[in-house]
Structure 1
Amino acid sequence: MNIIISNSSDIPIYQQLKNQIKEAILSGEIRDGELLPSIRNLANETRVSVLTTRRAYDELEAEGFIKTVHGKGSFAASGNLELLKEARLKQVEEKLIEAYNIGRAIGVSKEDMRTMMDILFEENGR
């Protein structure tokens, strides 16, 4: 797992950790049941505090992305992966509605919106 922390980002460090671990689980880079680095190891690897790492892990556990077993560590818990993906799909839909409404308010055509999406996909290799 390769986590990159940006100190110049407006996104809090714990949120950057959480987002990247969540994405790794959703993409399958981290498989169901796979042992994650300990809080201390991840803190050392990313050069952030143990408290920051703990907060990221706590939030991931609260959202169902990881499960912590006392004395054994934290494991990816993608057993409810379909629910997690469905939640992400809902976020995509909400963002698309927001983009549609903004575009519509300034007169962006349907074709221009499609062209913008095509460009985004091309730029990101998908």
Structure 2
Amino acid sequence: MDIILSNANPDPIYEQIAQQMRAQIVSGILKEGELLPSIRSLAKELRISVITTKRAYDELEREGYIQTIAAKGSYVATRSHEQLKEEYLRKIEEHMRSIHLLAQFIGLSEEELGMMYQLLREGES
């Protein structure tokens, strides 16, 4: 499993792990039912505390992305792709509401917002 941690990232380490694992599950890189590395082995691989890794796994389990079976390990939970997509669409809508309010506050037009989005996408290429 590819997880890249950054001290420059303002998010806590456990959240960086959880975000990247969520993305890999949603994109299908990690498949439903797939066995995940143990908390200890992932902590060792990433050179971080077992407590930090456990916190990431606990968060993912609470959100329904993974399930843990005692003495067997943690697995990618069985969720439909549509459920995951719907969850992400809700998050996008929340962010768009915030962007809309901020843009209104400073008088930014839809055209200017569109240009900002295009520049953002071009910068990622």
The 8 Å contact of residues 25 and 78 in structure 1, kept in 2 or not, is answered as no
Q: Match for residue 36 of structure 1?
A: 36
- What is the Cα deviation at residue 115 of structure 1? 1.4
Q: Match for residue 14 of structure 1?
A: 14
SS in structure 2 of the partner of residue 79 of structure 1:
coil
Number of matched pairs: 125
> 5+ residue gaps in structure 2?
none
Q: Match for residue 84 of structure 1?
A: 84
What residue identity is the alignment partner of 1:58?
A: D
| Greater alpha carbon shift after TM alignment, 89-98 vs 112-121 | 112-121
- TM-score, normalised to structure 1's length? 0.91
What residue identity is the alignment partner of 1:82?
A: E
Q: Report the Cα distance in structure 2 between the residues aligned to 1:5 and 1:64, rounded to whole angstroms.
A: 23
- What is the Cα deviation at residue 94 of structure 1? 0.9
Identity %: 46
For residues 66-118 of structure 1, the C-alpha deviation after alignment (integer angstroms, 9 at most, x for no partner) is: 01111221111142442232122111111111111111211111111111122
The reply on whether 1:120 has 2:123 as its aligned counterpart is no
Q: Report the Cα distance in structure 1 between the residues aligned to 2:91 and 2:35, rounded to whole angstroms.
A: 28
Q: Report the Cα distance in structure 2 between the residues aligned to 1:21 and 1:27, rounded to whole angstroms.
A: 10
Q: Report the Cα distance in structure 2 between the residues aligned to 1:77 and 1:50, rounded to whole angstroms.
A: 22
Q: Match for residue 111 of structure 1?
A: 111
Question: Runs of 4+ in structure 1 displaced over 3 angstroms?
Answer: none
For residues 20-46 of structure 1, the C-alpha deviation after alignment (integer angstroms, 9 at most, x for no partner) is: 111110111111111111101100111
Q: Report the Cα distance in structure 1 between the residues aligned to 2:47 and 2:80, rounded to whole angstroms.
A: 31
What residue identity is the alignment partner of 1:110?
A: E
Q: Match for residue 47 of structure 2?
A: 47
What residue identity is the alignment partner of 1:51?
A: I
Q: Report the Cα distance in structure 2 between the residues aligned to 1:84 and 1:5, rounded to whole angstroms.
A: 24
What residue identity is the alignment partner of 1:92?
A: I
- TM-score, normalised to structure 2's length? 0.91
Q: Report the Cα distance in structure 2 between the residues aligned to 1:85 and 1:47, rounded to whole angstroms.
A: 32
